[in-house]
Structure 1
Amino acid sequence: MNLGLIPLIVYLYFFSNSLVDTVAQPAFVGPPPLALNCGSKDGGSDANNRKWESDAKYLVAADKSVSSTALTQEASLSSDVPYMTARIFNGETSYKFNVNSTSRYIIRLHFYPSNYPDYNISNSYFVVTIGAITLLRNFSAFITAEALSQAYLIREYSLAAFNSDSITLTFKPGVDKSFAFVNGIELITEPELFDDQAGLVGVADTAGTIDGVSSNMQNMFRLNVGGQFIPPTNDSGGLMRSWYDDTPYMFGAGTISHVGNITIDYKDLPEATAPADVYRTARSQGPDPNINKQSNVTWVFQVDANFTYLVRFHFCEYHLDKINQRVFEIKLNNETAFNTADIIAWTGGKGIPTRKDYAVYIGNKPGIDAELWVTMHTNIDLKPEFYDILLNGLEVFKLSDSQSNLAGRNPVPSKMMQKQLIENRAAHDPNRKSRKQVIVGGAVGGAATVGVAAAVLFMIRKRRRRVSGSDPGATSWLPVYGNSASKSTTSGKSHGSSSLSTDAVCNCRYFSLMEIKRATNNFDESKVVGVGGFGKVYKGVVDGNIMVAVKRSNPSSEQGVNEFVTEIEMLSKLRHRHLVSLIGFCEEGNEMVLVYDYMGKGTLREHLYKGNKITLSWKQRLDILIGAAKGLHYLHTGAKYTIIHRDVKTTNILCDDKWVAKVSDFGLSKTGPNMTQNHVSTVVKGSFGYLDPEYFRRQQLTEKSDVYSFGVVLFEVLCARPALNPSLPKEQVSLADYALQSARKGTLEEMVDPQLKGKIKPEAFKKFTDCSLKCLSDHGLERPSMGDVLWTLESVHRIETKAEETRNSPKSPSSSIGMVEVPIDNTDMIAMHLNTLNLDNDDDDDYDDPEDDAAIFSQIINPKGR
């Protein structure tokens, strides 16, 4: 199969009001939802203008509770309401709500574990019940939020009919000085969304079903597979659910995403099952059927052991219309849930959504974290027309056990976190006892000992904020490595750090100031190879013959200790071919120095203009862009946490002596959002000309901010002009604005670097510019991911490579024999994808060697990078 002769996928990642209307049933109508802003006298409205009321009139035994206001406000809070006020319970206290005795209900609890006047949040442990159902037990919102790096927590439950006209929600504090609290409560009537015959995998048919109608459950994960975050205000049925991107849970082989421009006809399926935008987006496998037949698509979830989980799959086929065109297997923890899944066989046509529920029990395996693996694989035995899978949405619910319990344990600090806590505590108290007495006992024991761990976490958190500059009395030039007298010289070994993590220190070499001066000839100006926001960069030599780049901080620079620490913390944990490697650092006196691998070819910017040291060909530019995209894609998806670079530009893309591109300068980088946030709220930093306008307006940072900046880089490479050029006419000063304006006028070709004119294939030019323009979309939701940008760049490179091969050695027309093409509408991305999947099934066992065609999809096939 010759992929070069077939248009590859250009991905659409935006939701548009111009999409065709949804054919919907009459919306479910129940009692109005209840939203309580706990501890508030007047309620108020949240950031989405949703009304919240006071909780006071629903309280029973109100004398055991007090209203309070948080002492601090985290920047990442999505809204003041309901998080800045709290109801604090000093004794067992309840809320009483009138309900319909025959209806299911959704209840959501919102927790913001800040400190409140006269209350230390690390002392808060409590139980939450509703009737005979235990929702939370020995719950510490503080420990949970710290372990998950979240500012606030939301716990959502779906509860069966109570057979009563009222329900009681009870908060009971733990022992001693403990207290309970809650910031917000939602109570929403839920329509009939569950069946009484959900299949239980791994169990004989006679006992292999779960009654979802009568089950009480907690929603653990709710994902818009292949799509973007859907906020509560865009949910269907008035249920105010949040649907998250599934990318953080992907594991293994690469996939592609689709947006279908099609009418959604719910037919007998309740519209409240999922919003239409869930069914308009989907994830499927890559374009090579040979790879698809040998790989799975897998999602992995961390869960609580000793519970049964109900997994709901949302499907909607919007291109195929016949049975046995796409057939696949569904497995939960390697147990088959269904092996002949065929969406058309289930629904009877395109644009008709359906959902399927399967359940699995996950027991306790000593020493192993409880995980739920959801796996899909094309069914080879039935020889479908297309070897592929499709999934639109995924939900995971934890079912209550035989004791009507839904409560899991508080997170246990990892070994690395325990070690870091001990060492940081020891730095302040050298007489501190052993680790077992401080942390390990607390991790395994009850609430009292865990409280010690919480106190340590709390102290470190406060201390970390002081060091980072949030304490007005702190100077930005405090030592980050400890007393300079304790530092080693040439050994590279290091002693305790006061601000750097142990992991970072162990992974980096410590250089003495004498070594640095010797390497740079005492910071000789003739050794300067660049100047940035942090300071000057010198070319140096260490250990006799190892070439390095030495970045020396300028005390008058706006960047200081924060950027220094961030760079070390980030790069010490990252190793990737397309990220500049940090060798070590020096912090002595008033000097802060970072030592990197030396990049012999300098910055990408140097080879585009500013004298054009070397004129890069179009393919060389593509190679560099692909390398940079791989580095950024790894940061967004391959590291342990999402990392947002925040300063992507051509001066931060370097090339080594072999022209391998590497992303550099992580001083402004931030750890990305988690699953209760779709952004990080932070002070705007970056470089003008590359700065995401949405980030600038809202101060809400996402990985799509990097995508915007990379879109500017793409046009900079294509046009060989700076991102900002004040000497040009007003409409051309900003490269991004000029590119968008030229696209509207149809004059993009006029912007191209004269060195490249006539040297880019029209098909490659269109793919490249379409992708670049989508990166510059004003709203982050409309931008592609870095993985999709990478895919497009590799397909552009493939087009140019094939064009060269065709000119030099034309291929025989017979090379495409055996491929049956689906008629292609230029706007139909799904048809393009399916053309690449179709095979002559008579030759099913004669696999082509996929290596050549798969090479261009290397980063997608292995998206974790390492």
Structure 2
Amino acid sequence: MNPNLIHLIIYLHLLPNLLTLPPPSSAASLALNCGSKDGGKDADNRKWATDSKYLVSGGKSVTSTALTQDPSLSSDVPYMTARIFTGETSYKFNINSTSRHILRLHFYPSEYPNYNISQSYSIVSADSILLLKNFSAYITAEALSQAYLIKEYSLAATGSDNMLVKFKPMDKSFAFVNGIELIPEPELFDDQAGLVGVAENSGTIDGVSANMQNMFRINVGGQYIPPTNDSGGLMRSWYDDTPYMFGAGTVSHKANITIDYKDYPEAIAPVDVYRTARSQGPDPNINKQSNVTWLFNVDANFTYLVRFHFCEYQVDKINQRVFEIYLNNETAFATADIIAWTGGKGIPTRKDYAIYVGDKSGDEELWVTLHTNIDLKPEFYDILLNGLEIFKISDSKSSLAGRNPVPSEMMQKQLIANREAYDPDAIRVTHVVGGAMGGVATIGVAMALVFVIRRRRQVAGTDSGVTSWLPLYGNSTSKSSVSGKSQCGSSLSTDAVCNSRYFSLVEIKSATNNFEEGNVIGIGGFGKVYKGIIDGNMKVAIKRANPSSDQGVNEFVTEIEMLSKLRHRHLVSLIGFCEDSNEMILVYDHMGKGTLRDHLYKGNMITLTWKQRLDILIGSAKGLHYLHTGAKYTIIHRDVKTTNILLDDNWVAKVSDFGLSKTGPNLNQNHVSTVVKGSFGYLDPEYFRRQQLTEKSDVYSFGVVLFEVLCARPALNPSLPKEQVSLADYALQSARKGTLEEMVDPHLKGTIQPEAFKKFTDCSLRCLSDHGLERPSMGDVLWTLEFILKLEAKGDETRNEKKSGSSGMVEVPIQSSDMIAMHMNTLSLDDDEYDYDSDDDGNAFSQIVDPKGR
């Protein structure tokens, strides 16, 4: 047979296999478990190799194993082993010269034999790009309250077949790394990212040739997407955007729609990013007057490429939804219309904009804001965003190195105390290198804390709403096995159903005059609240869920389960519920005076006196104290704020809104592990860091309420100077400066006894302590507030004591019989509301619920 024919037959036989071979660049994908002899597999069964064969010279490095394993580690691999460098050492990798590459560095600053991890400072570079300088993984992890770090870079093609990653310890120090990933990256960038904040058409950023560090990658309106679910094999993590939200009033969506990437590579983002989104909601009047903002902490003096991911699945015509995009209050694009960009539903697009963040004002923040375009008069006044990525671009010196963050003053003290307790003879020196990123108690850093914690611990976000409001208002079709009317009843316990009155939708419409807008008395994240009349003359408040409310079903069920079993003078009473025709409606006692916030700074004509404010706070504290100690189980409210403290016609305070509440830990635990929920400005920073909820989280939120009542200003006010935006931060700063008196509501000036003021502010500041163990219990707070009320009643006596030279706290003697009465009053255990059984210690209480459901 002809030899050429034989060769042709062999070639044709092998051709299918040749066509299915991976591209040459994929051969360069690496995952190295540094310091390990055999690599190993991580928790996702992903194979990691040993790093030894990639070392240019191993003479200045040693392998080591961590002595302790933090429970937050997602996997032993690659964190429990490390490569420690005592001198300059490099890794050499063979790469595709024409491809970009993702480089990830993993650091676990734990205890290693013979090495003091706090003494590690390093310089890391990739070829000529400086990645890290004077970098301390220990300081960074401590400042951000996390166990391990991941640094991710997107490096441009250099034309070389090799990449040299160099680790160099600073003088008298050492460097280390636990894991290295090197993954070829398809070309996902272009050279047309417009530079925001400069004259039009005067500058663009070339993303193709740029070297970048990924700072944030979020799935807007959706859940956490782990690396194994990423597209294109890039092993990226996409995080819940909730921690970065500044303000409220948004709706998350999830659509079951086929994603057609068209000309985009699927590696641009996974389909799960484009199937979820966040918008403002169905009320055009509210939307026109508000915006949606995300806040990120970044390094100053760098340019940032901000990538927006869009995919429309609600409208299909141009000018139905048009909005504006702002970066740090600079217009990036004024007429964003997703359909105009893509031509139809289910078609993704991405838009890149760049902005320089300087340090003229000391800010290291990046604000991303979307606002509906009113001028073009679109059909729907709303915004939409599916995903967001933020990349730091290397500067003119080819550097991406930022500064080490600085732990807060309180955290530094705690770290020193911890080291003293562990090793009294240790050298107690706190190494703080570089500039500050701000205290961990500030809003921006708190958001960064949540991001890093969620990023490293891989905590999934919460379930997103599945109902969209455009163009149809409500489309749920699921039925309940209890009432056959909605998707909610099947989740309710039998006790909850029996102890609450069931209302038909006909009754609710009759009570509210068919949901007449004139009957709206409030709007919250769950939906609108209407005043109504039932049973002829009984006033009620009717809360109707927005069909697209995020987690509306969960809040609906939780509210019924909690309040159907609780009866207390200072807890709002649930009368019943309706789950008819896909509606979720809750019916409460009417609270004639509205919310506490309404009477502090909402323009209400009534100005509360100091005594009235104390009475309201005492009532609120009684309600919360009962939740923590008097109910059958510890109940953590999780959303304590002035809008959730309601006032009846007699100004009696009642705690409301239990949609986010959690049953507390049992006797074998001291916290509840849960995804962070609550309202910005009130969130416990320790809860932010650890996702470990305790009753002290409510105490922190109540501390913010205490200052709101004293100062008559919101917990967050972005219109104020930066240092005053957060009321909690401003109070702590003022306390350090000795200027707390300047914060007091002018209407209260001269009406508060000095001793009472000191006692009140001392208690409020303790509630805002960074660590829960340093905060008082709600019972202690209640005792203090009632003590302050006695001080005010004894005004003349306390003034005389002060004139006589006494200083500090004034002690008012309390008889033992008064203490018992105070304890009973604290729990509000009135005979007509409760039946309580005493055990040997007299501490067991059980509540009686009305079997008729009131």
State the match for 2:699 in structure 1. none
State the match for 2:333 in structure 1. 338
Distance 1:321 1:684, change over 3 A: closer
Cα deviation per residue 1:772-819 (whole Å; 9 max; x = unaligned)?
A: xxxxxxxxxxxxxxxxxxxxxxxxxxxxxxxxxxxxxxxxxxxxxxxx
**Structure 1 CA distance for aligned equivalents of residues 328 and 143 of structure 2:** 25
Q: Equivalent residues in 2 for 1:40-59 (5 A)?
A: 40-59=36-55
Q: Equivalent residues in 2 for 1:203-602 (5 A)?
A: 203-366=198-361, 368-418=362-412, 443=432
Query: Structure 1 vs Structure 2: percent identity of aligned residues?
Result: 69
Q: 8 Å contact 2:575–2:588 — kept in the other structure? A: no
Query: Is residue 668 of structure 1 aligned with residue 670 of structure 2?
Result: yes
Distance 1:604 1:376, change over 3 A: closer
**Structure 2 CA distance for aligned equivalents of residues 135 and 604 of structure 1:** 54
Distance 1:650 1:243, change over 3 A: farther
Q: 8 Å contact 1:76–1:681 — kept in the other structure? A: no
Cα deviation per residue 1:657-676 (whole Å; 9 max; x = unaligned)?
A: 7553476967833686799x
State the match for 1:175 in structure 2. 171
Residue type of the alignment partner of 1:369: D
Q: 8 Å contact 1:605–1:651 — kept in the other structure? A: no
- Pairwise CA distance, 1:679: 12
Q: Secondary structure in 2 aligned to 1:114?
A: coil
State the match for 1:71 in structure 2. 67
Residue type of the alignment partner of 1:225: V
- Pairwise CA distance, 1:293: 0.2
- Pairwise CA distance, 1:617: 2.4
State the match for 1:140 in structure 2. 136
**Structure 2 CA distance for aligned equivalents of residues 371 and 614 of structure 1:** 40
**Structure 2 CA distance for aligned equivalents of residues 117 and 265 of structure 1:** 53
**Structure 2 CA distance for aligned equivalents of residues 65 and 363 of structure 1:** 38
State the match for 1:514 in structure 2. none
**Structure 2 CA distance for aligned equivalents of residues 181 and 270 of structure 1:** 36
Q: Which runs of 5+ in 2 are unaligned?
A: 1-20, 437-561, 579-584, 597-626, 638-644, 647-651, 678-686, 696-849
- Pairwise CA distance, 1:427: 10
Distance 1:279 1:167, change over 3 A: same
Higher RCO, Cα 8 Å, sep 6+? 1
- Pairwise CA distance, 1:218: 0.1
State the match for 2:126 in structure 1. 130
State the match for 2:101 in structure 1. 105
Q: Which runs of 5+ in 1 are unaligned?
A: 1-25, 448-602, 632-644, 687-752, 760-866
Query: Is residue 617 of structure 1 aligned with residue 575 of structure 2?
Result: yes
Q: 8 Å contact 2:217–2:237 — kept in the other structure? A: yes
- Pairwise CA distance, 1:388: 0.2
**Structure 1 CA distance for aligned equivalents of residues 576 and 375 of structure 2:** 44
Query: Is residue 164 of structure 1 aligned with residue 196 of structure 2?
Result: no
- Pairwise CA distance, 1:30: 3.8
Q: Secondary structure in 2 aligned to 1:78?
A: coil
Q: 8 Å contact 1:200–1:208 — kept in the other structure? A: yes
Q: Secondary structure in 2 aligned to 1:134?
A: strand
**Structure 1 CA distance for aligned equivalents of residues 264 and 329 of structure 2:** 29
Q: Secondary structure in 2 aligned to 1:80?
A: coil
- Pairwise CA distance, 1:443: 3.9
**Structure 1 CA distance for aligned equivalents of residues 90 and 209 of structure 2:** 24
Query: Is residue 186 of structure 1 aligned with residue 188 of structure 2?
Result: no
Cα deviation per residue 1:98-143 (whole Å; 9 max; x = unaligned)?
A: 0111110000000000011111110100000011100000000001
- Pairwise CA distance, 1:615: 9.8
Q: 8 Å contact 1:673–1:680 — kept in the other structure? A: no
State the match for 1:729 in structure 2. none
Cα deviation per residue 1:253-282 (whole Å; 9 max; x = unaligned)?
A: 320000011110000011100000000000
- Pairwise CA distance, 1:399: 0.1
Cα deviation per residue 1:51-86 (whole Å; 9 max; x = unaligned)?
A: 001001000111111111100000000000000011
**Structure 2 CA distance for aligned equivalents of residues 365 and 60 of structure 1:** 43
Q: Secondary structure in 1 aligned to 2:285?
A: helix
Cα deviation per residue 1:582-628 (whole Å; 9 max; x = unaligned)?
A: xxxxxxxxxxxxxxxxxxxxx9575589xxx999621699467999x
**Structure 2 CA distance for aligned equivalents of residues 626 and 59 of structure 1:** 72
Residue type of the alignment partner of 2:393: L
Residue type of the alignment partner of 1:64: K
Residue type of the alignment partner of 2:402: G
Over aligned residues, Cα RMSD in angstroms?
A: 4.3
**Structure 1 CA distance for aligned equivalents of residues 154 and 630 of structure 2:** 43
**Structure 1 CA distance for aligned equivalents of residues 410 and 109 of structure 2:** 23
Residue type of the alignment partner of 2:167: F
**Structure 2 CA distance for aligned equivalents of residues 615 and 81 of structure 1:** 51
Q: Secondary structure in 2 aligned to 1:83?
A: coil
Distance 1:422 1:183, change over 3 A: closer
Q: 8 Å contact 1:215–1:399 — kept in the other structure? A: yes
Q: 8 Å contact 1:108–1:186 — kept in the other structure? A: yes
**Structure 1 CA distance for aligned equivalents of residues 338 and 312 of structure 2:** 6
**Structure 2 CA distance for aligned equivalents of residues 104 and 652 of structure 1:** 53
**Structure 1 CA distance for aligned equivalents of residues 112 and 268 of structure 2:** 39
- Pairwise CA distance, 1:652: 3.4
- Pairwise CA distance, 1:414: 2.5
Cα deviation per residue 1:230-249 (whole Å; 9 max; x = unaligned)?
A: 00000000000000000000
Residue type of the alignment partner of 2:370: M
Q: 8 Å contact 2:324–2:372 — kept in the other structure? A: yes
Q: 8 Å contact 2:572–2:654 — kept in the other structure? A: no
**Structure 2 CA distance for aligned equivalents of residues 66 and 110 of structure 1:** 17
Distance 1:361 1:674, change over 3 A: farther
State the match for 2:618 in structure 1. none
**Structure 2 CA distance for aligned equivalents of residues 257 and 313 of structure 1:** 16
**Structure 2 CA distance for aligned equivalents of residues 275 and 138 of structure 1:** 35
- Pairwise CA distance, 1:353: 0.2
**Structure 2 CA distance for aligned equivalents of residues 400 and 261 of structure 1:** 39
Q: Secondary structure in 2 aligned to 1:411?
A: coil
TM-score by length of 2: 0.52
**Structure 2 CA distance for aligned equivalents of residues 626 and 62 of structure 1:** 74
State the match for 2:92 in structure 1. 96
Distance 1:243 1:72, change over 3 A: same
Cα deviation per residue 1:663-699 (whole Å; 9 max; x = unaligned)?
A: 6967833686799xx999999999xxxxxxxxxxxxx
Query: Is residue 62 of structure 1 aligned with residue 58 of structure 2?
Result: yes
Residue type of the alignment partner of 2:159: N
Cα deviation per residue 1:623-666 (whole Å; 9 max; x = unaligned)?
A: 67999xx99xxxxxxxxxxxxx9999974349997553476967
Cα deviation per residue 1:460-513 (whole Å; 9 max; x = unaligned)?
A: xxxxxxxxxxxxxxxxxxxxxxxxxxxxxxxxxxxxxxxxxxxxxxxxxxxxxx
**Structure 2 CA distance for aligned equivalents of residues 192 and 429 of structure 1:** 52
**Structure 2 CA distance for aligned equivalents of residues 389 and 684 of structure 1:** 33
Q: Secondary structure in 1 aligned to 2:253?
A: strand
Residue type of the alignment partner of 1:384: P
